[in-house]
């Protein structure tokens, strides 16, 4: 059969800027930095939606959430699962003879697991708690809630990240024995570094809070911003926090990023020891980012800031060998990886896939997008429609029920000053609203009705 082996590692809620290779001055991520250096680092990668379930459904189905219709997480009033009639890249690879394995977090569908989407093996990340109990270890502590704490009763080798890496290595060893007869697609979806970061030593104290500099977005007074952002601070009871209160949480977040990096290193090293490094396309990314104090907020909801929509994305192996080490083209990680996996496997992409083949993009064989888009529909605190378009200089966020946002990313990379009401930016605002209409048409967005179109075309929006 044609095609190569494929290994996907998709972290949960990992910021683009929290890796050494992507510019963080403090965090230690030698293994991910090495992966990026050996392949291609897509430095302008964005998620289709900054929410776990719909982002993961987009990766599986190669479609925008408006097309696969799984638009929110399960704990919302619009918890519509991924349409069961939508074809997936996993189904296409399975039909072509691939052996498919999945370890860790799934989160795509409330009732249907990986085995119902073409996978042959699944090691559910929720089994870690039972494993931990069987080892005579206490459950994870939760005294500090979403802000995290030290997991004092375990070693790093007993952490959930190490457990997930162990299970991934088990499947890798099994698939390696059949590598000459059958290609494999293996994915590990650790639920980290999603808050709360309950981290064992030495990672819990690896970074001193006093050494951590605030995010570029932190000093945001939220003036001239949508009301929901101020409400989120109140909802989480973090309104008025200065950086000294945020720094310990960020330190644990960075510690868990380094623990993740160590486990990725174990997998990459074993891949090489098995003689599979040259024949395996390795992809590393995240479903979305994390505020973690950015703009004085937590988690990822009701905003389209780069803190949550920009993600790391590396590819190494067949198809990108010899490509430049960095690619600054706009990438939608979920949509484009789905298309790329089909290309790497030598199978036709299913009908309805809308992404680009990143192998062609990395080699300069594909036309680059002039801009990138994103969408959002709401969460456990209520529904809230947003659409985003971003180019090299500007980001426009259309908030259906509140004021719009416009940011000059060259002069304001932290997205702290909303320019939507600035008369000097009226031309850019009109241009980006026009692009928004075009994209909403392409994405089959049902919100582009006659009223919304008229609002955007006529500039009847604050």
> DSSP per residue over 325-388, as a string?
SEE-S-EEHHHHHHHHHHHHHT-PPPTT-----HHHHHTT-SPPPS-EEEEEEEETTEEEEEEE
pLDDT at 355: 98
Intra-chain end-to-end CA distance of the chain, in Å: 56
Q: Do domains 5-369 and 374-458 have the same CATH topology?
A: no
pLDDT at 80: 79
pLDDT digits (tens, 9 = 90+) for 379-438: 999 999 999 999 999 999 999 999 999 999 999 999 999 999 999 999 999 999 999 999
pLDDT at 1: 46
Assigned fold of 374-458: Arylsulfatase, C-terminal domain (3.30.1120)
CB-CB contact of 91 with 114 (8 Å): no
98 is written with which tokens?
């691939």
What is the chain's length? 462
pLDDT at 84: 82
CB-CB contact of 3 with 346 (8 Å): yes
Assigned fold of 5-369: Alkaline Phosphatase, subunit A (3.40.720)
pLDDT at 461: 80
pLDDT at 450: 94
Cα 140 to Cα 143: distance, rounded to the nearest angstrom: 10
Domain boundary assignment for the chain:
5-369, 374-458
What sign does the CA torsion over 286, 288, 290, 291 have?
A: positive
What sign does the CA torsion over 309, 312, 317, 323 have?
A: positive
Give the residues of the chain that fall short of pLDDT 70: 1
74 is written with which tokens?
């399960």
Classify residue 207 as exposed, middle or buried by CB count within 10 Å of its CB (0-12, 13-18, 19+). Answer: buried
């Amino acid at each position: 059969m044609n095609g190569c082996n494929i290994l996907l590692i998709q972290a949960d809620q990992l910021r683009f800027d929290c890796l050494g290779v992507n510019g963080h001055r403090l965090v230690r991520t030698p293994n991910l930095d090495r992966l990026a250096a050996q392949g291609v680092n897509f430095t302008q990668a964005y998620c289709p939606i900054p929410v776990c379930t719909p982002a993961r459904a987009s990766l599986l189905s190669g479609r925008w959430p408006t097309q696969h219709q799984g638009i929110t997480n399960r704990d919302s009033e619009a918890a519509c699962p991924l349409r069961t009639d939508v074809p997936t890249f996993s189904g296409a690879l399975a039909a072509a003879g691939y052996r498919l394995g999945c370890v860790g977090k799934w989160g795509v569908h409330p009732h249907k697991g990986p085995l119902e989407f073409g996978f042959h093996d699944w090691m559910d990340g929720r089994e870690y708690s039972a494993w931990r109990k069987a080892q005579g270890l206490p459950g994870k502590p939760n005294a500090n809630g979403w802000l995290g704490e030290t997991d004092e009763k375990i070693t790093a080798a007993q952490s959930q990240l190490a457990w997930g890496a162990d299970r991934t290595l088990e499947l890798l060893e099994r698939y390696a024995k059949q590598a000459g007869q059958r290609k494999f697609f293996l994915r590990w979806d650790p639920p980290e570094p999603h808050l709360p970061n309950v981290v064992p030593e030495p990672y819990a104290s690896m970074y001193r809070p006093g050494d951590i500099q605030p995010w570029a977005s932190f000093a945001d007074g939220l003036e001239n911003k949508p009301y929901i952002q101020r409400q989120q601070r109140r909802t989480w009871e973090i309104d008025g926090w200065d950086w000294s209160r945020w720094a310990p949480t960020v330190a644990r977040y960075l510690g868990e990023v380094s623990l993740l990096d160590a486990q990725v290193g174990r997998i990459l090293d074993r891949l090489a020891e098995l003689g599979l490094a040259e024949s395996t396309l390795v992809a590393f990314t995240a479903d979305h980012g994390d505020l973690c104090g950015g703009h004085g907020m937590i988690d990822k909801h009701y905003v389209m800031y780069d803190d949550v929509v920009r993600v790391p994305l590396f590819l190494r192996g067949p198809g990108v060998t010899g490509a430049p080490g960095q690619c600054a083209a706009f990438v939608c990680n979920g949509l484009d990886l789905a298309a790329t996996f089909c290309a790497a496997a030598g199978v036709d992409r299913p009908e309805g896939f809308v992404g680009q083949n990143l192998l062609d993009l990395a080699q300069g064989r594909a036309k680059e997008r002039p801009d990138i888009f994103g969408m959002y529909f709401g969460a456990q605190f209520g529904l809230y429609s947003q659409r985003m378009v971003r180019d090299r200089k500007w980001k426009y966020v259309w908030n259906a029920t509140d004021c719009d946002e416009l940011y000059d990313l060259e002069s304001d990379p932290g997205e702290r000053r909303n320019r939507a009401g600035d008369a000097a930016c009226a031309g850019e605002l009109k241009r980006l609203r026009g692009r928004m209409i075009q994209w909403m048409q392409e994405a089959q967005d049902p919100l582009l009705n006659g009223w919304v179109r008229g609002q955007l075309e006529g500039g009847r929006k604050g």
